[in-house]
Amino acid sequence: HREKVKNLLETEEFNREVTVMGWVRTFRNNQFIAINDGSCMGNIQIVVDFNNTPEALLKRITTGAAIAVKGTLVESVGKGQKVDIKAESIEILGDSDPEKFPLQPKKHSLEFLREIAHLRFRTNTFNAVFKVRHALAFAVHQFYNERGFVYMHTPIITASDAEGAGEMFKVTTLDLDNPPRTEDGQIDYSEDFFARSANLTVSGQLEGELAAMAFGQIYTFGPTFRAENSNTTRHLAEFWMIEPEVAFADLEDNMNLAEDMLKYVIEYALKNCKEELEFLNNRLLEEEKTKPQNERSELSLLDKLNFCLTNDFERVTYTEAIKILKSSKPNQKKQFKYLIDEWGADLQSEHERFLVEKHFKKPVILTDYPADIKSFYMRQNEPDEQGRKTVAAMDILFPGIGEIVGGSQREERLDKLTQRMEDMNIPQEELWWFLDTRRFGSAPHSGFGLGFERLVLFVSGMTNIRDVIAFPRFPKNAEF
């Protein structure tokens, strides 16, 4: 019967017989083995009777090896923990060649650990990050379940490009070195598996809308794929998205839902990942100490998370934000890489982060973006006094992250929607099923997409999105 290290570290039942199994972290002075079994970040210390243990066995107790230990709980000789295990027998389950095992007991850089993503789970940092990720995923489901949302699984393979950004990975069984061709030389997809071109989904939204127009409120939570330049610290080629969609809801309902959800899941993590978040908090504090005083962040990770819970997000329109950015110091002094001169430009992450971190100093919900920079399905607002066209969109911007949520009230009016599709050269035949929702019992509805890894980034305090997903996918990398 194997016991978890997590439970043993709490106990004070000395003299009890126990068996633990785990991986060796360190073996000090041939006397104390620290092992970790993944149940927590802490190690339990095994006291070895050096004189009565065969030399051949001692040699095999190396960092990374998997071992089973039978022994009794004794009062710890070390500081900081209550119990050790006095070993009666040690069995090697799996050797680990000390010459070759890359995770030696020392501090490794995150860059190095990214190269050994298959082993980095065994570090405390990644133990904490993935426990936080797990808790957040669980909290997402709990939040929607409590509110009566139906969890929908939308397809991974689709024909449509919901975002119209042309960033899709093709799915095909054709031999692309020698594809069948039509008479005019085009690839003949009629011979392909689906008898048409198909892609990995970039978003479950369009299908989600269909379900919302029957169940009233649904959410999706699944992988999405974008063949975009994801050589940034915020983009992956494969990421997970949470997409609620609600019928009879307008933009304000949508903003409230998103804000409530973010607060709910952050609060859940704070309550359920105390040990992990404290560890990550301290990790960041150590990192901050290496920076010059004026570059250090004013708030610790835990302060930041608590601040988020106790403050209303700032709600501003795109038009107001542009005014702020145009007159802001970095814009005037040309310190922004992209200067904001004109109404209509899309914000870059430097602008988003300026609004959040420098100007409002809190999470911001930006609404009513120019129609030209947003997707076809967003609800068209009445043009403003100057005749400028906007849509009922909302993006939520977070400190250190920039955009974490993108959403909108959807265009439920068939004539407005088809007109916009025509203007944007989006073929209506391909989306006949989507347009049917507007033909049969159309109703106001709204929804958003939350990038799950950006949420994990924010809550864990990590700075590179490749460190919050187990096996990151990005250009020129699909090793693991």
Residue ranges in contact with Mg ion by CB under 5 A: 403, 406
Residue 395 CB, nearest distance to Mg ion (Å)?
A: 6
Q: Which of residues 440-469 bind ligand ATP (CB under 6 A)?
A: 449, 451, 453-454
| 38-52 CB burial, b ≥16 within 10 A, e <16 | ebbbbbbbbbbeeee
Residue 23 to residue 67: CA distance in whole angstroms: 6
Q: Which of residues 166-185 bind ligand ATP (CB under 6 A)?
A: none
Determine what percent of the chain falls in helix, strand and coil, rounding each to the nearest 5.
35, 25, 40
Stretch that binds ligand ATP, among 8-16, 169-177, 231-239, 426-434 (CB under 6 A): 231-239
Residue 418 to residue 421: CA distance in whole angstroms: 5
State both tokens at 246: 């609600």
Q: Residue 238: which of ligand ATP, Mg ion, none does it interact with, CB under 5 to 8 A by kind?
A: none
Q: Residue 405: which of Mg ion, ligand ATP, none does it interact with, CB under 5 to 8 A by kind?
A: ligand ATP
405 interacts with ligand ATP by CB under 6 A: yes
Q: CA geometry: angle at 19 spanning 17 and 21, to 5°?
A: 160
230 interacts with ligand ATP by CB under 6 A: yes
Q: Residue 477's beta-bridge partner residues?
A: 474
By beta carbon distance, the residue nearest Mg ion is: 406
Residue 389 CB, nearest distance to ligand ATP (Å)?
A: 19
State both tokens at 436: 């049917």
200 interacts with ligand ATP by CB under 6 A: no
Expressed in angstroms, the distance from the first to the final Cα of the chain is 33
State both tokens at 162: 């919901």
DSSP 3-state of 71? strand
The gap from C-alpha 4 to its chain's centroid, in whole angstroms, comes to: 28
Residue 154 CB, nearest distance to ligand ATP (Å)?
A: 14
Residue 127 to residue 120: CA distance in whole angstroms: 9
Nearer to ligand ATP, 275 or 372 (CB): 372
Element (H, E) at 382: none
Residue 283 CB, nearest distance to ligand ATP (Å)?
A: 23
Residue 197 CB, nearest distance to Mg ion (Å)?
A: 22
Q: Of 268, 275, 283, whose CA–CA distance to 41 is shortest? A: 275
Nearer to ligand ATP, 120 or 374 (CB): 374
Here's the x/- map for ligand ATP, 120-159, by CB under 6 A: it reads as: ----------------------------------------
Residue 41 CB, nearest distance to Mg ion (Å)?
A: 34
Q: Residue 417: which of ligand ATP, Mg ion, none does it interact with, CB under 5 to 8 A by kind?
A: none
64 interacts with ligand ATP by CB under 6 A: no
406 interacts with ligand ATP by CB under 6 A: yes
3-state secondary structure 397-453: EECCCEEEEEEEEECCCHHHHHHHHHHCCCCCHHHHHHHHHHHCCCCCEEEEEEEHH
Residue 398 CB, nearest distance to ligand ATP (Å)?
A: 9
Residue 205 to residue 154: CA distance in whole angstroms: 8
Nearer to Mg ion, 264 or 369 (CB): 369
**What sign for the dihedral angle of Cα 91, 95, 98, 103?**
negative
**What sign for the dihedral angle of Cα 189, 193, 199, 203?**
positive
The amino acid present at 422, given as its one-letter code, is E
Q: Which of residues 238-277 bind ligand ATP (CB under 6 A)?
A: 239, 241
Residue 176 to residue 120: CA distance in whole angstroms: 36
Site size with ligand ATP, rule: CB under 6 A? 17
Q: Residue 404: which of Mg ion, ligand ATP, none does it interact with, CB under 5 to 8 A by kind?
A: ligand ATP
Q: Residue 449: which of Mg ion, ligand ATP, none does it interact with, CB under 5 to 8 A by kind?
A: ligand ATP
Element (H, E) at 45: strand 44-47
Q: Residue 236: which of Mg ion, ligand ATP, none does it interact with, CB under 5 to 8 A by kind?
A: ligand ATP
From candidates 404, 426, 431, 456, binder to ligand ATP by CB under 6 A? 404
Nearer to ligand ATP, 447 or 461 (CB): 447
Residue 58 CB, nearest distance to ligand ATP (Å)?
A: 47
Nearer to ligand ATP, 37 or 352 (CB): 352
- Sheet strand arrangement including 198-200: 157-158, 198-200, 170-171
Nearer to Mg ion, 96 or 203 (CB): 203
Instruction: Show the beta-strand stretches assigned E in 169-313.
Output: 170-171, 198-200, 217-225, 238-247
Nearer to ligand ATP, 226 or 445 (CB): 226
Q: Residue 314: which of ligand ATP, Mg ion, none does it interact with, CB under 5 to 8 A by kind?
A: none
Residue 401 CB, nearest distance to ligand ATP (Å)?
A: 8
Residues that bind ligand ATP in the complex, under the rule CB under 6 A: 163, 226, 228, 230, 234-236, 239, 241, 403-406, 449, 451, 453-454
